[in-house]
Amino acid sequence: MQNGILPLWKEKGMTSHDCVFKLRKILKMKRIGHTGTLDPSVEGVLPICLGESTKVAEYLTNAGKIYEAEVTIGASTTTEDADGDVVESNDSHKHFTPQDILSALTALTGTIEQTPPMYSAVKVNGKKLYEYARAGVSVERPTRQVKIYELTLLSEEASYSGKHVSFRIRVSCSKGTYIRTLAVQIGEKLGYPAHMSNLVRTNSGTFTATDCLTLKQVQDLVDNELLTDKLYDLDYALQDMPKFEVPSDLEKAIKNGQVLDAIEALNDHQRIVYTKDSQAVAVYIKHPSKEGRMKPEKMFNRLDKEGDAK
C-alpha cells in the first residue's frame, strides 16, 4: 500500500470526491483522503493523503490557501459563481479606476465576516446548506470570521468600464474562506451586484501548482512503478511544528500513546512532534483537563514492539 502525500492538480468538472474515487481505482487502495473541497468548476492544487498519511490530512486542510479569481461586477447569482441563475442584474454603464478596486480590496483585507452561500457544504442542523437550497427551503446561515492575508489586483487595465466589468485578483486566505462570497463582498464595496466568474487554487499550504500531478500523470507513474518517488512523506505536513527526538526513557510510553508531563514548548505552540531517527512518531497537545500534562493527538506506526523505528 502506498503511503505519502500526493499533490494533485484537480481538473475542472470533477468534485474532490471524484478525484479520490478515481485514485482509489488507479492505486487499488481504499485509504485515501483529500484535504479540502474544491467545487467542480474550480481547478487547482488539492493535496491527497494516502495510507498512513491520512492521519495528517486535517493539518493540510487547516493550512492557508492562495487563489486566483475573476470577479465580474454587474450581476449576482444563486450560487455566487458563474454556474448559478442570475438573481440581480445591473446593466448600467460602470466605470472604475484601479484605485476604486484597490480601495475595495483593502477594505476586505484582514479579519472579515462571511455568511456562507446557500449552495455550500456548510451544515446547519446536521444538513448541508445546498440540500436546503435544492429543496427551496431558506434557513439562517451562520456568519463566521475568516482571515484575508493579502488581496492583490492582477489585472492591469488603466480603467474598467462597461455594463459588466471583470478583473482578476489573487487571494491569500485562511481555511474556510469562500472566494465566491468574497467576490460578492467586493461588488458590495463597489456598489453593484457581483459574482465570481472563474477560480483557480494556486497554493495549498506549501504545495504549489508546479508540485502537482494530474490524474493521467499519476496513472502513467503507477504503470511504470515510479509514483513513490513523487510522494511527500507525512512529515511534510508537520514541518511547522517543533520537533523533539523521543527520549530513550519515554520511548515505550510514547509508543503506547500514554499521557505524559507537558514539556515547556507547549506553552508557546499548540502542538509538538516526537520523532525517531528524524521521522515523526507522535503529535502531542496539552491535555484538555489535566493541568501540566499532555496527550497524543496523532500516532504514527513507525515504532515496532521493541520501540525501534520502522
Positions marked active-site: 39
DSSP β-bridge partners for residue 300: none
Nearest Cα to Cα of residue 49 among 258, 298, 304:
298
Alpha-carbon distance values, 303 to 141, 177, 232, 271 (Å): 46, 38, 20, 20
Alpha-carbon distance values, 161 to 76, 88, 170, 282 (Å): 18, 19, 21, 56
Distance CA 42, CA 34 (A): 15
Nearest Cα to Cα of residue 169 among 191, 209, 198:
198
Asked if 12 and 62 touch (Cβ cutoff 8 Å), the reply is no
b/e burial code for range 35-45 (CB count within 10 A of at least 16 → b): bbebbebbbbb
Nearest Cα to Cα of residue 241 among 204, 271, 285, 277:
271
Distance CA 283, CA 239 (A): 12
Q: Which residues contact 125 (CB under 8 A, 6 or more apart)?
A: 139
Question: DSSP letter string over 189-229?
Answer: HHTS-EEEEEEEEEEETTEEGGG-B-HHHHHHHHHTT-GGG
